[in-house]
Structure 1
Amino acid sequence: MIKTRARRTDPAQGPMPAAAVPRRARTHREWAADLGYALSALVLGSMILVTALQEDDKPPNVWVEAVLGGIMFAGMLLFRRARPTQLAVVWVTVGFLSAAVTGSAPVVLLSLAIHRPWRTSVSVAGFQVALIAGTFWVGADSARSYWTSVLAMFLLITTSVVTGMLIRSQRQLTASWRERARQAEEGQRLRVEEARHLERERLAREMHDVLAHRISLLAIHAGALEYRAGASPEEARAAEVIRQCAFEALEDLREVIGVLRAHPDETDGDGDEPERPQPVLGDLPALIEESRQAGATVHLDLAELPSVSGRTGRHAYRIVQEGLTNARKHAPGAHVRVLVAPAPEDGLAIEVVNRLPGGHAGSGIPGAGAGLIGLRERVALIGGRLEHGRTGDGDFRLRVWLPLAK
């Protein structure tokens, strides 16, 4: 197993890449911030240099100051984020030889305090103050001017370091709040998933304990009726159809229970048992034949169709299946016409029409309209359209348009 080095995180600077991890490129916003710091250091150093040129008896060499200032400007632009400690130490050391670099040191210390802990910042700042005190002592005209200059630089450096530490603390606090919010959202998501999984398991238990038991009894009684002595061929055939339907219902129920029991983190297709083939549009004749064997009068008008995707074909099969189920429940014995044909807008038209019985007498099979609700959701899932209702001729018509390419 390949081991990778852990990445250390600084809330004020973001993830710090390990040696083996390539450093990410800076964004335009980060480049702009680095350029702003570099320009600030250049401006502050130039102001100190101008003051030194005007007031000192021995003014510094302008060319040396310009070269050192340019080098420090490039260093600030390139290494302010990656190596702030090394940059600050070099800057403070070179400042012993340059008035401009010494004057721009507070900007470097501000950047250092933002990106590194307070101990590092205070140590480098103390080193800077000590160098300044020694440098001013050598060239001071009087004690008063010496202490004034040292105190001014001390206050400037202290202000820079304190400001940087405050910015760092604010960033760390914001990062901790963001992390707490992320952990709270993740915990809420896990609790919701766990509750959903427990509810699915409860539904699976109920379906297994109730539906599987009753469908099994139905299959057993149908088998007994099929082989009952003295049964007519029609009765035996009907019993065989009932038994076969009960067997297929048990298989479908087993798959549904398996889906409900599956954990949300489990990926599809990783189970030990392969999934059963899903029905497609070409299986419609077999579905119609099953309904005819059950005693229904069904006419199928299946036109020549262009290429139909497997998803659209599966949804079309389920729509026709639900339409036939509704016809058996609410209009038993009625003639049912099923039409599947191409439709405008590169679509597939499905129509299931059955005569409504007089007095709206149904088969006695319980129903609450959940089938039509499920059909509407299924059709909306692939961008189709659904219409249903009574016609002027006393029929009930279910009409669906599905896109072919879905």
Structure 2
Amino acid sequence: MNVTELRGDGVRAHEYRWALPSVLLGDAREGRRVRRSTRDWIVDTVMFLLAGGLTFLSLTEMTNQPEPLLAVEQVVGALACAAVWLRRRWPVGLALVTTVLSSYLELVGGACVVALFTVAVHRPFKISGPIVLLGLVTLVPYVMLRPQDDMSRAAAAALGVAFVLTAFAWGIVIRARRQLVWSLRQQAQSAAEEARRSERERIAREMHDVLAHRISMLSLHAGALEFRPDAPAGEIARAAGAIRTNAHLALQDLREVIGVLRHTPPGAGDPVPDRPQPTLADLPALVEECRQAGMDVRLDLHADDAPEKPGRHLYRIVQEALTNARKHAGGAPVAVTVSGERGKGLSVEVRNPLGARHPLRLPGAGAGLIGLTERAELSGGRLEHGTTPEGEFVVRAWLPWPVETTGEDA
């Protein structure tokens, strides 16, 4: 629902987007048409009956009043009660008029109480406070000019102050409750937005990790075919088969990652399961796949029993590091060293010489290493990368491996 729908005044939403909290609190611009819900009609009816009831009680107690004054009281009192239906459209104007009239006319008091309550609910204290103060001030001429037969001026003033402050306090409490509800609603919406943003980032990282590896393999084999058109028929057939296989796997991985975007139907209790995630046990298969693509990769693995969560992060780090080596140092030997111990953490180092270049330089956005750094930091670890004086490019990462393994990490 946008601001225009809430306000019901035909104003474009973007023009009063800043006023959305005030609209939800019931605040509308003075004089603007307000759309009432069923609940609003019920509340307005109750307010009208309350104003009419107070007016009727005051009328029954009016004795020994001149006929002209009594007629004026009845007419103005009836009009004031009818004006209660305008309290949402002109809360400030209604409160000011009824407050001024109540400084002498007694039958306006019921509508005045309702108007003070309304302005306390629908307007901030900087507006409602001075109006209530004016209501307290107008009690002075009323007590002085309209003495009561059955009570003293002090008692009448105390009764009037009690009515005004009670109506005002009641309105302040309702406004504070609405502000609390609005704040909680905003917090819930912010939490939902943050959850959606985190899920989008997770899916983006997953798509980058999966597809960058597959597409780089495709480019590598296609480049070999392009630059070696005179290769033996057997090699060409193997390269074409590798391209077909990696294209099929890329499409399969893409379908699995996009499947995370699907939501459960309304009322379903079980969430959509995530795609199967690789672990440290899948690292030898990844290295073997890179070797079949022509890379010279050496793996030194000394952490076979690592838990699932840090093992998954380490697998992605090695996968991206091998993809970068394939892009920027094709043909150079790559050394992957993985070690770890429970309570001390998991360490990985991917090292390859600089200078060697594949004939086909693959493009890259430069976001891979940034994503790896964020992945490591989010899991409580760290990642460093850069060149060494020996002319090598090194990616080093450390991930925590707690002594006590939780169900999530197991």
For normalisation by structure 1, the TM-score amounts to 0.50
Tell me, in whole angstroms, the C-alpha distance in 1 between the residues paired with 2:90 and 2:129. Answer: 17
Shift of 1:221: 9.2
Tell me, in whole angstroms, the C-alpha distance in 2 between the residues paired with 1:246 and 1:166. Answer: 71
Aligned residue identity for 1:49: L
Contact 2:211 2:250 in 1 (8 A): no
Tell me, in whole angstroms, the C-alpha distance in 2 between the residues paired with 1:141 and 1:70. Answer: 22
For residues 100-158 of structure 1, give each alpha carbon's deviation from its aligned partner in whole angstroms, at most 9, with x where no partner exists.
Answer: 11244222211111111223223222222222221221233799711110111111111
Q: Does 1:49 align with 2:59?
A: yes
Of 98, 101, 109 in structure 2, the residue corresponding to residue 102 of structure 1 is 109
Of 13, 25, 29 in structure 1, the residue corresponding to residue 39 of structure 2 is 29
Structure 2 CA distance for partners of 1:198 and 1:17, relative to 1, 3 Å: farther
Partner of 2:50: 40
Correspondence list, 1:95-134, <5 A:
95-134=102-141
Structure 2 CA distance for partners of 1:80 and 1:118, relative to 1, 3 Å: same
Tell me, in whole angstroms, the C-alpha distance in 2 between the residues paired with 1:11 and 1:51. Answer: 41
Seq. identity, % = 21
Structure 2 CA distance for partners of 1:37 and 1:223, relative to 1, 3 Å: farther
Q: Which moved more, 1:33-42 or 1:129-138?
A: 129-138
**Higher radius of gyration, 1 or 2:** 1
Q: Does 1:72 align with 2:83?
A: no
Partner of 1:140: 147
Structure 2 CA distance for partners of 1:40 and 1:51, relative to 1, 3 Å: same
Correspondence list, 1:7-406, <5 A:
7=17, 8-11=19-22, 13-14=24-25, 25-53=35-63, 56-58=64-66, 61-77=69-85, 79-140=86-147, 145-210=152-217, 213=220, 224-226=231-233
Tell me, in whole angstroms, the C-alpha distance in 1 between the residues paired with 2:178 and 2:13. Answer: 31
Structure 2 CA distance for partners of 1:193 and 1:24, relative to 1, 3 Å: farther
Tell me, in whole angstroms, the C-alpha distance in 1 between the residues paired with 2:65 and 2:42. Answer: 39
Contact 1:219 1:247 in 2 (8 A): no
Structure 2 CA distance for partners of 1:17 and 1:145, relative to 1, 3 Å: closer
> Structure 1 regions of 5+ residues with no counterpart?
229-238, 266-406
Aligned residue identity for 1:75: A
Tell me, in whole angstroms, the C-alpha distance in 1 between the residues paired with 2:65 and 2:71. Answer: 18
Tell me, in whole angstroms, the C-alpha distance in 1 between the residues paired with 2:56 and 2:94. Answer: 19
Contact 2:51 2:81 in 1 (8 A): yes
Structure 2 CA distance for partners of 1:192 and 1:141, relative to 1, 3 Å: closer
Tell me, in whole angstroms, the C-alpha distance in 2 between the residues paired with 1:165 and 1:46. Answer: 27
For residues 232-282 of structure 1, give each alpha carbon's deviation from its aligned partner in whole angstroms, at most 9, with x where no partner exists.
Answer: xxxxxxx77x777666667667778999999x99xxxxxxxxxxxxxxxxx
Tell me, in whole angstroms, the C-alpha distance in 2 between the residues paired with 1:261 and 1:124. Answer: 61
Tell me, in whole angstroms, the C-alpha distance in 1 between the residues paired with 2:169 and 2:13. Answer: 40
For residues 77-113 of structure 1, give each alpha carbon's deviation from its aligned partner in whole angstroms, at most 9, with x where no partner exists.
Answer: 1x22222111100111222453211244222211111
Shift of 1:208: 2.5
Tell me, in whole angstroms, the C-alpha distance in 2 between the residues paired with 1:122 and 1:24. Answer: 24
Aligned residue identity for 1:65: E
For residues 11-49 of structure 1, give each alpha carbon's deviation from its aligned partner in whole angstroms, at most 9, with x where no partner exists.
Answer: 585375679xx8562212212211211211111121112
Tell me, in whole angstroms, the C-alpha distance in 1 between the residues paired with 2:203 and 2:234. Answer: 45
Partner of 2:305: none
Contact 2:218 2:247 in 1 (8 A): no
Tell me, in whole angstroms, the C-alpha distance in 1 between the residues paired with 2:218 and 2:92. Answer: 72
For residues 165-213 of structure 1, give each alpha carbon's deviation from its aligned partner in whole angstroms, at most 9, with x where no partner exists.
Answer: 1111111112111111111111121112111111111111222244654
For normalisation by structure 2, the TM-score amounts to 0.50
Aligned residue identity for 2:39: R
Q: Secondary structure at the match of 1:99?
A: coil
Partner of 1:283: none
Structure 2 CA distance for partners of 1:219 and 1:157, relative to 1, 3 Å: same
The number of aligned residues is 247
Tell me, in whole angstroms, the C-alpha distance in 2 between the residues paired with 1:143 and 1:117. Answer: 38
Structure 2 CA distance for partners of 1:115 and 1:191, relative to 1, 3 Å: same
Tell me, in whole angstroms, the C-alpha distance in 1 between the residues paired with 2:88 and 2:160. Answer: 25
Structure 2 CA distance for partners of 1:13 and 1:187, relative to 1, 3 Å: closer
Contact 1:222 1:243 in 2 (8 A): no
Q: Secondary structure at the match of 1:5?
A: helix
> Structure 2 regions of 5+ residues with no counterpart?
1-11, 262-410
Q: Secondary structure at the match of 1:140?
A: coil
Structure 2 CA distance for partners of 1:249 and 1:216, relative to 1, 3 Å: farther
Contact 2:121 2:172 in 1 (8 A): yes
Structure 2 CA distance for partners of 1:220 and 1:191, relative to 1, 3 Å: same
